[in-house]
A and B are shown apart, each in its own frame.
Chain A
């Protein structure tokens, strides 16, 4: 695809997302659905499938759009600007892991089901909070003595976003000789969910696996293929979450600037006060720096080298967390008491930002990974 065609493609996607958001009143839905399980609406999910968003990164052979991370980021950014309740990014991460797996019947079935909206996948991989190293999963897979070629899973995975509404899990496991990725349908005996309520009102769950049988056909990838599929899914997921943080930040800054222009005190718009103007400018600068860093990191990630991809993902996520942190906190303050109320939409953005910032590594973890991956004498263009 030429650069111009890619730009057109992104514009079309962004328009389609913005149009859907205008029609579907996502802020009201986010309010209605918070505190419920699964915290989103399966009929909205089907609409998103029909619009192609669930298969943006899925190759065309499996019914997807066959587009790149940049296009997935456009969708993530647009939906997040409206605080959409549906777990599109969580599904995208699990989907990306499957795309990276070895071709086979299960992979084809899953991807076709995902693109159609019939299968909603979630990725279960993380050993413990604060650990973003994909090589350290805490689910062990041992040969099943009762069934040749089958595996028995034992262990746990924390912070599985969209677990409560998922139709199945891509589970990262350690076999005696190599890492592997398995497909475990929801409701498989031995799988239990311990759900928690996220700050934004959606559920998240820790999964535990107790002698969970996985037939040979449910092994998606083993060894290097599994390792790289998981690493790529997490890196790209971090990019998608960064895009969400930036989309949300941009919208919330717009909302806050509108408030500064219209709210009057002392007989004039509060946006005429220099104390607020300078702080508003700082938020704008954070957003511009965040966007520029994201775009450059995306280009750096595209050269195919996994270490550079991980470093770029960390750079994008660390920056996006900072951008969102500044904008969300100041949005509350600049709205004054109304910004502290549940009725005000600011809170929806603030809480979504808290969730996105913590998910798949917060700013501190990503700064640490960036420092570990990029030697100091490297040119940081």
Chain B
């Protein structure tokens, strides 16, 4: 019997990467219009698994859940430029982000560094949504300085025994599995004593405590480990190679975080609010509004420069970080202008009626905060640019 949820034979047989870029783009666009459920479009925050499981399964059946994975392993086998097209079309359609760390993070790591047994077990389950992953990197005392992490994994028989705590773990309450960076050697340089482990969240000793964020939502958690056992077969790569493995994901994936799409959406909300408030007749507002509009249009131009680089098959340099900095800070400026444009509405929590238009004036203010903090805070990005691109001294 075939699983009715499994990818269709037609989906599995199609070589999407062979299509010309623009044909592919139009096919993706048409398919999204026909198949994407309304409730996953333009969500207010990160979607929980129960809110998007149906969409996951639709993508899985179409064979589109893992654009970057090789076709032999159930992915679409797309070239970098087609992956960018796919992301752009998903963003254009407003498809909310799913708990996709298995697809975007640990999957590619297992594909590159995993044992045959790890690949056979985890990859199909990750594709089907049977295994939902969360990322165990940050700790209460290891944020920007991630390499100083203290959660330990100690060998005991056939297992590693994990103790410590991870924090800011997005959607850990929904996850079935976690990929963990843990300290396995305290006698060496901090980057050289870290290992990359896989962990089943159902094993004893794990406590997940959701953390309410500033917007009042439970998106991230603290996770506590009390003598948690994971088999040695769940070590990915060599012992103490975890730091190198975790850093290996820095490729053209970094383009996504600097995409102009999210600032454009934030700006569209500002535009809606300004229209409702009649602010287009206010020259002071208009100058700031247009400055922001150009900030985002010019971000698109810079983004295109990097996309062209990918299209030519060139690797991206450290300079790509500038997109993240500009995009996330433009979003914050947009959210500030929105608060100002909202006048008293900018003091209201939740939805309000702004001159006949239902709006949550503060939503972009909150949702634009994490971008400058996660994925290497903007301060860390500036450190990297200062040294790697500008060559400023240590």
Binding site for B on A (CB under 8 A): 257, 260-261, 268-269, 271-272, 274, 277-278, 280-282, 284-285, 288-290, 292-293, 295-297, 315, 318-319, 322, 364, 367-368, 370-371, 376, 380-381
Bound: A281/B390 CA distance, A? 8
How far is the CB of B273 from the nearest CB of chain A, in Å?
Answer: 13
B305 at interface, CB cutoff 8 A: yes
Bound: A322/B287 CA distance, A? 13
What are the residues of chain B within 8 A of A274 when measuring CB–CB?
Answer: 383, 386
Q: Are A277 and B319 in contact (CB under 8 A)?
A: no
Q: Are B291 and A260 in contact (CB under 8 A)?
A: no
B28 at interface, CB cutoff 8 A: no
Across the interface, B390 reaches (CB within 8 A) one of A280, A297, A318, A371, namely: A280
Q: Are A284 and B322 in contact (CB under 8 A)?
A: yes
What are the residues of chain B within 8 A of A269 when measuring CB–CB?
Answer: 392-393
Q: Mark B296-337, 1 if CB is under 8 A from A, else 0.
A: 111111101100000000000001001001100000000000
Q: Are A368 and B297 in contact (CB under 8 A)?
A: no
Bound: A268/B393 CA distance, A? 9
Q: Are B300 and A281 in contact (CB under 8 A)?
A: no
Complex: chain A residue closest to B379, CB-CB: A278
Binding site for A on B (CB under 8 A): 271, 283, 286-287, 289-291, 293-294, 296-302, 304-305, 319, 322, 325-326, 379, 382-383, 385-387, 389-394
Q: Are A261 and B394 in contact (CB under 8 A)?
A: no
| Known A278-B379, A288-B319; contact A368-B390, beta-carbon cutoff 8 A | no
Q: Are A367 and B291 in contact (CB under 8 A)?
A: yes
How far is the CB of A255 from the nearest CB of chain B, in Å?
Answer: 13
Q: Are A380 and B302 in contact (CB under 8 A)?
A: no
| Known A278-B382, A288-B319, A370-B290; contact A295-B301, beta-carbon cutoff 8 A | yes
Bound: A282/B389 CA distance, A? 12
Across the interface, B294 reaches (CB within 8 A) one of A257, A260, A271, A370, namely: A370
What are the residues of chain B within 8 A of A297 when measuring CB–CB?
Answer: 301
Q: Are A277 and B382 in contact (CB under 8 A)?
A: yes
| Known A295-B301, A315-B297, A364-B287; contact A285-B379, beta-carbon cutoff 8 A | no
Most interface-central of A280, A285, A376 (chain B CB within 10 A): A285
| Known A271-B392, A284-B322; contact A292-B297, beta-carbon cutoff 8 A | no
Q: Are B300 and A380 in contact (CB under 8 A)?
A: yes
- 17 of the cross-chain contacts (CB-CB < 8 Å) are A257-B391, A272-B394, A277-B386, A280-B386, A284-B390, A285-B326, A290-B298, A292-B302, A293-B294, A293-B297, A296-B298, A296-B304, A315-B294, A318-B294, A364-B287, A370-B290, A380-B297
What are the residues of chain A within 8 A of B383 when measuring CB–CB?
Answer: 274, 277-278
| Known A278-B379, A371-B286; contact A319-B298, beta-carbon cutoff 8 A | yes
The 9 closest A-B pairs by CB, nearest first: A277-B386, A293-B298, A296-B301, A292-B302, A292-B301, A271-B392, A380-B297, A367-B290, A278-B382
Q: Are B393 and A368 in contact (CB under 8 A)?
A: no
What are the residues of chain B within 8 A of A272 when measuring CB–CB?
Answer: 392-394
Complex: chain B residue closest to A264, CB-CB: B393
What are the residues of chain B within 8 A of A319 when measuring CB–CB?
Answer: 294, 298
Across the interface, B287 reaches (CB within 8 A) one of A289, A368, A376, namely: A368
Bound: A319/B271 CA distance, A? 21
What are the residues of chain B within 8 A of A380 when measuring CB–CB?
Answer: 293, 296-297, 300
Complex: chain B residue closest to A369, CB-CB: B290
What are the residues of chain B within 8 A of A296 when measuring CB–CB?
Answer: 298, 300-301, 304
| Known A261-B391, A261-B392; contact A281-B386, beta-carbon cutoff 8 A | yes
How far is the CB of A378 from the nearest CB of chain B, in Å?
Answer: 10
Complex: chain B residue closest to A322, CB-CB: B291
Complex: chain A residue closest to B305, CB-CB: A292
Q: Are A368 and B286 in contact (CB under 8 A)?
A: yes
Q: Are A288 and B293 in contact (CB under 8 A)?
A: no
Bound: A288/B296 CA distance, A? 14
Bound: A216/B6 CA distance, A? 82
Bound: A226/B360 CA distance, A? 51
- Given contact pairs A261-B393, A281-B389, A289-B299, a sample of 16 additional A-B residue pairs in the complex whose CB atoms are under 8 Å apart: A257-B392, A261-B391, A277-B390, A281-B325, A281-B386, A292-B302, A292-B305, A293-B301, A295-B301, A296-B301, A296-B304, A318-B291, A322-B291, A364-B287, A368-B287, A368-B290
Bound: A322/B325 CA distance, A? 17
